[in-house]
A and B are shown apart, each in its own frame.
Chain A
Amino acid sequence: MIYGNRTSALLYLSPYLIGLAVFTLFPFVASLLLSFSDYRLQDSLNAAQLVGFENYAAIIHDRTFGKSLAVTLIYVFVTVPLKLAFALFIAFVLNFRLRGINAFRTAYYLPSILGGSVAIAVVWRYVFAGDGLINQALDLLGAGPVNWLGEPAYAMVSIVLLRLWQFGSAMVIFLAGLQGIPADLYEAARLDGASHWQVFRRITVPLLTPVIFFNFIMQVIQAFQEFNGPYVITGGGPLKSTYLLPLMIYEEAFKYFEVGYASALSWVLFVLVAVFTALAFRSSQHWVFYAQERGEPNK
């Protein structure tokens, strides 16, 4: 009987377990092994030789990697704070009880559903093109056309803007966090004579730190993995100015067929994300405030 239960339990779980094994665990282990090999995509797996840390050593001396790493870090450190601030601002505005506010909440969330897709990146490319929407708008204002996708600095701006535009999911989480702050704390603060800004800074933000922390971690991880934007809009250029690490990994593997090297790059990216996440967790004890003790139920 017990055995029968276990079998049916496994059967119910199997779609997930199979997916996990095939699409997560296998690539995870395979990429780790491949990162120590000289495997090239056109060769048979049998021809692959174990080369130890050679790939990793090559990464350290790879100028392109240095450039890509720098661009990636800039991208992460610019987009994450900007996106969090923007999402929090919009959430704050959408937290007011106004007529039709739900329609606005939905409207502001839409870009996040669409934003990650290739289609939107394609649209974005036309928006920033030489005769695209933005330049037409600038023209109406009398400003000259900007070479958005041709100038390194502007190209970065265009992919950063695409990312900021997808603030919806962070915003929804902020909104939930804002709604979790008891109204009587705001009333107490009003009676205490705190201004709107003081209330925001001394009450809202401290009580929102767990949500800020969560969003921060999620955004850091996602920003490190950004691919669609630079791939479709700029192709990593000009002059590798938007050549983010995931794009480099993709090109090493599927353009130059250097799967071993690309795998090693993937693991470097993984470690990078892990280190930043760990640092964030370490720092969180100093700035994240939890109203409840761990395991204490919400009241």
Chain B
Amino acid sequence: MARSSVQLAGVAKQFGSTIVIRDVTLDIAPGEFVVFVGPSGCGKSTLLRLVAGLEQPSAGTIHISGRDVTDVHPSKRGVAMVFQSYALYPHMSVAENMAFGLRMLGTSRAQVETRVRAAAETLQLDSLLDRKPRALSGGQRQRVAIGRAIVREPDVFLFDEPLSNLDAALRAQVRVEIARLHARLGATMIYVTHDQVDAMTLASRIVVLNGGRVEQIGAPMDLYRRPANRFVAGFLGSPRMNFLPARVASAGDQSLEVEVAGERVRVERQLAARAGDVVTLGVRPEDLSLAQPDDSAVPNGVLRGEVSLLERLGGEAIVHVALRGTQNETLVAKLPGDVSLSPRQPVGLRLNGSACHLFDQAGQAIA
């Protein structure tokens, strides 16, 4: 299967007076698995539809394999799309659904047959070829939708929230199948989701979108460890990163101290902040650990409060702590599942100083 690059240059899209995509420039390398992620209405599906050709950009150009396809018909762009609703033709059998695109292209009957068989084998649909979509389960329909894309041997696969209609167990399973498919075909894939687990697990690179703009592009763990701003920091990770208002108390070469919730916390990172700066401290739930409230042996980085909510998930426990000395500030910590805590118990939380993030008042990460 061909491996193709995709380039977007200054792409914008407006519906009437509503701007949905603002000046997106993006380079996708051949064989990459790129995930567009963001909250509802961020423009991620529109961006995918622009690549597919189902929408025309208001400005900018789109290249696939170096060819300008901005004004090229969707069927001639070398892309295949898997829709959120699967968009299977309900009156056609599985085999007919998969063959439809090839038939429209005038592919010979024998070749259609061969390719449909091959795709069906790949996706374990062999025994379902004569069924109509209504006689299939959600997971099977999903596989047919993917099969329909595969038979066309596209240069680029486009997935529009393909897992959102599946239940949790099936999601995980199909997610693995898509990852395998990518590994085997090595094709370029663009995948849209609002689910950060999809994004983190599948992507070679994630594009985080918000309000029609690209907030950050990067490998999943890069975005997770070094978010460019509060939005990306808050969007990736579950439970989301804690944000607390803070003030830089003193700044040194290798570390700095911030005042937060009446405590002094040492941030062991080299950050361009000065004493007196008003900042937001970001810390992920897993970078908090339990300390005794009167843990005076470690004066650095212990925030005190009382347990307001305890969610036990088995392997881990999500603990919500109402911080003392603040107005309704709550910290969410991810602790071992067997942690012995109960609601309203006083508790101290120690911050992992090397994993803290600081954001300026505009929400940009201080690096």
Q: How large is the interface on A (under 10, 10 to 19, 20 to 34, 35 or more residues)?
A: 20 to 34
For A189, list chain B residues within 8 Å (CB).
Answer: 89, 100
A194 and B85 contact, CB distance less than 8 A: no
A292 and B134 contact, CB distance less than 8 A: yes
Asked whether A192 and B83 contact (CB < 8 A) given A185-B89, A203-B89, the answer is no
In this complex, what residue of B is CB-closest to A194?
Answer: B104
B54 and A191 contact, CB distance less than 8 A: yes
Asked whether A291 and B75 contact (CB < 8 A) given A192-B104, A193-B104, the answer is no
| A293 located at the interface, meaning its Cβ lies under 8 Å from any Cβ of chain B in the complex | yes
In this complex, what residue of B is CB-closest to A289?
Answer: B91
B90 and A192 contact, CB distance less than 8 A: no
**Residue interface bits B170-200, CB-to-A below 8 A is 1, else 0:** 0000000000000000000000000000000
Asked whether A191 and B91 contact (CB < 8 A) given A182-B85, A184-B83, A184-B85, the answer is no
A192 and B134 contact, CB distance less than 8 A: no
Asked whether A187 and B101 contact (CB < 8 A) given A206-B91, A292-B134, A293-B134, the answer is no
User: A189 vs B74: C-alpha distance in the bound complex, in angstroms?
Assistant: 10
A207 and B91 contact, CB distance less than 8 A: yes
Q: How far is the CB of A285 from chain B (nearest CB, A)?
A: 14
Count of chain A to chain B residue pairs whose CB atoms are closer than 8 Å in the complex: 62
A191 and B75 contact, CB distance less than 8 A: yes
**Residue interface bits A182-215, CB-to-B below 8 A is 1, else 0:** 1011011111111100100011001100000000
A192 and B75 contact, CB distance less than 8 A: yes
In this complex, what residue of B is CB-closest to A199?
Answer: B104
| B87 located at the interface, meaning its Cβ lies under 8 Å from any Cβ of chain A in the complex | yes
B75 and A193 contact, CB distance less than 8 A: yes
Q: How far is the CB of B84 from chain A (nearest CB, A)?
A: 8
B74 and A191 contact, CB distance less than 8 A: yes
Please report which residues of chain B, range 84-102, place their CB below 8 angstroms from some CB of chain A when the two chains form the complex. 84-85, 87, 89-91, 100-101
In this complex, what residue of A is CB-closest to B152?
Answer: A192
User: A223 vs B90: C-alpha distance in the bound complex, in angstroms?
Assistant: 33
Q: How far is the CB of B133 from chain A (nearest CB, A)?
A: 9
Which DSSP category, helix, strand, loop or mixed, fits chain A's interface?
helix
User: A203 vs B87: C-alpha distance in the bound complex, in angstroms?
Assistant: 12
**Residue interface bits B144-161, CB-to-A below 8 A is 1, else 0:** 000010001000000000
Q: How far is the CB of A258 from chain B (nearest CB, A)?
A: 51
Q: Which of A185, A195, A202 is close to B87, meaning CB atoms less than 8 Å apart?
A: A185
Q: Which of A185, A191, A206 is close to B81, meaning CB atoms less than 8 Å apart?
A: A191
For B54, list chain A residues within 8 Å (CB).
Answer: 187, 190-191
For A296, list chain B residues within 8 Å (CB).
Answer: 134
A188 and B134 contact, CB distance less than 8 A: no
**Residue interface bits A279-294, CB-to-B below 8 A is 1, else 0:** 0000000000101110
User: A195 vs B73: C-alpha distance in the bound complex, in angstroms?
Assistant: 11
For A182, list chain B residues within 8 Å (CB).
Answer: 85, 87
B101 and A192 contact, CB distance less than 8 A: yes
For B74, list chain A residues within 8 Å (CB).
Answer: 187, 190-191
In this complex, what residue of A is CB-closest to B80?
Answer: A191
Asked whether A191 and B52 contact (CB < 8 A) given A184-B83, A293-B134, the answer is yes
User: A293 vs B105: C-alpha distance in the bound complex, in angstroms?
Assistant: 32
B90 and A193 contact, CB distance less than 8 A: no
A291 and B100 contact, CB distance less than 8 A: no
User: A194 vs B54: C-alpha distance in the bound complex, in angstroms?
Assistant: 14
In this complex, what residue of B is CB-closest to A191?
Answer: B74
Q: How far is the CB of A183 from chain B (nearest CB, A)?
A: 9
For B83, list chain A residues within 8 Å (CB).
Answer: 184, 187-188
A-B contact pairs, 9 of them (CB 8 A): A184-B84, A185-B89, A188-B83, A188-B89, A189-B100, A191-B80, A192-B100, A194-B75, A296-B134
B binding-site residues for A, Cβ under 8 Å: 52-54, 73-76, 79-81, 83-85, 87, 89-91, 100-101, 104-105, 134, 148, 152
Q: With A184-B83, A193-B75, A198-B104 given, can you name 17 additional A-B contacts, CB distance below 8 Å?
A: A184-B85, A185-B87, A185-B89, A187-B81, A187-B87, A188-B148, A190-B54, A191-B54, A191-B80, A192-B75, A192-B104, A193-B101, A195-B104, A203-B89, A207-B91, A293-B134, A296-B134
